[in-house]
Amino acid sequence: MPRPKFLNLSDALDQRRRRARDRGLGKGLLLITSGGLGDTVMFALVLPRFRRLAEPGEPVTVLLRRDAAKMAFLFPDDVTVETVDYGRLLKDRAYRRQVGDRLYAAHFRLVVTTDYLRHPLLDEALVRACATEAWAMVARPWPKHDAALARNRALYTRQFESGQARRDKIVRWNDFADWLLGEAAPPPVVRLDPAGLAPPADLGAPTVVIQPYSAVRAKQSPAALYARLIAALPAGVQVRITGSPRDRESDPDIAALCEMPGVTFDDSPFADLVPVLRAARLVVSVDTALMHLAVAVGAPTLCLASAAYVGEIVPYAPEVTPGNVRFLFTPMDCAGCLGDCRLPAEAGMYPCVARLDGDAVVATALEMLDR
């Protein structure tokens, strides 16, 4: 099979890298984090540690996937955010060259790629384009790309062996920061500094926020479970169902919940939801970005999780788990599959989601609401 044309750019980038030694020392720290929206919330917790790799007065830039930039409001104002469309980067040769030229022209002193799971033609192509000193964790094994990842180890002057493949993401990041900084500090609890957040909104009545949507439909609990929960709430409690207009159009069963008394739909962007989350009596969410945001801003949060990311994302490791979150999931022998479910779907859901105990969901929600 012929190689995709964009791979030819690697030759030009290698030549550029060889010429880079004649440019002199650059200035600026570039942190690359290629996760999605939820990962970006969690990265905001460890960003203060990685920022300390910058020299006094040196600018700090964080490079995000374009779709994750909706959470960039969580970063300090003095951090510059660079975004890249990874879909175009993989397919559009002209765009790939444009991004590479921009990163090369920035002439960073140091690049740190913070991702354990890396794609040799995406994240690592960006590192190559910078043509400067780069540090990283040893990449997660990925049979499809292991050979290319092994070749790309030459890009890095320092590499950290971060442990077993399945570890809590925040703890892994923190260990990497420890290694880079030469110190040992406890990992941060999932809680953002309230001083940097918008104040709680005046919602007019006790409010429960429900985020029932997942980008992976099989991770969603059925609308009937949420209807049962809403019906069990005390009188006077209002409900806001959050999601995008596209979410609402794609799932008429969940949209129908808005016909229940006291239930409305809120399609506000994440930044505008922060005051609502901070004022909410309870947030009930699937394991998605809104859930991480709710926990981080201090909202009492009940996560209805799959077992897919047990050991890596949810539940959080005990040492980083704050007191305002509870996780409910069905233990499975296949837990930690990272979404690669090999079992037959049950009613259109992952078996671990379909088997969530509805009685436990309602009882836990009411207990948290009362508390």
The answer to whether residue 22 scores a pLDDT higher than 80 is no
pLDDT 10s digits, 135-173: 999 999 999 999 999 999 999 999 999 999 999 999 999
Q: What is the average pLDDT across 283-309?
A: 96
Binning pLDDT at 50, 70 and 90, where does residue 2 land?
Answer: very low
Comparing CA positions, the residue from 96, 78, 76, 94 lying closest to residue 86 is 96
- Does residue 359 surpass a pLDDT of 80? yes
pLDDT, one tens digit per residue, over 170-198 is: 999 999 999 999 999 999 999 999 999 99
pLDDT at 3 over 50: no
Planar angle of CA 170, 174, 175, nearest 5 degrees = 120
14 has a pLDDT exceeding 80: no
> With 90 as the cut, is the pLDDT of residue 105 above it?
yes
pLDDT at 366 over 50: yes
Residue 308's pLDDT is 87
**pLDDT value, residue 52:** 98
- CA separation for the pair 316, 45 (Å, rounded): 13
pLDDT in tens, 220-231: 999 999 999 999
Distance CA 126, CA 136 (A): 13
pLDDT, tens digit, 9 for 90 and up, residues 229-262: 999 999 999 999 999 999 999 999 999 999 999 9
- Please state the φ and ψ torsions of residue 255, each to the nearest 5 degrees: -60, -35
pLDDT score, position 182: 98
Residue 31, C-beta contacts closer than 8 angstroms, at least 6 positions apart: 47, 50, 51, 60, 61, 62, 63, 112, 114
Q: How confident is the model at residue 7 (pLDDT cuts 50, 70, 90)?
A: very low
What rounded mean pLDDT belongs to the chain? 93
Whether the per-residue pLDDT at 21 is higher than 80: the answer is no
Q: Which domains does the chain have, with CATH numbers?
A: 5-181 (3.40.50.2000), 194-370 (3.40.50.2000)
Q: Within the chain, what is the greatest distance between any pair of CA atoms?
A: 71
Q: How confident is the model at residue 8 (pLDDT cuts 50, 70, 90)?
A: very low
> Residue 9's pLDDT band (boundaries 50, 70, 90)?
very low
Is residue 18 within 8 Å of residue 128, measured between CB atoms?
A: no
Spell out a b/e string for 248-272, using b for 16 or more CB atoms within 10 Å of the CB, else e.
beebeebbebeeeeebebeeeebee
Distance CA 147, CA 82 (A): 29
Average pLDDT over every residue of 358-368: 97
pLDDT band at 335, cuts 50/70/90?
confident
User: How would you classify the pairing of strands 29-33 and 60-65?
Assistant: parallel
Q: Tell me, what's the pLDDT at 117?
A: 96
Q: What is the pTM of this model?
A: 0.93
Counting residues of the chain whose pLDDT is more than 90, the rounded percentage is 87
Please write the tens of the pLDDT for every residue from 71-104: 999 999 999 999 999 999 999 999 999 999 999 9
Q: How confident is the model at residue 309 (pLDDT cuts 50, 70, 90)?
A: confident
Give mean pLDDT, residues 287-315. Answer: 94
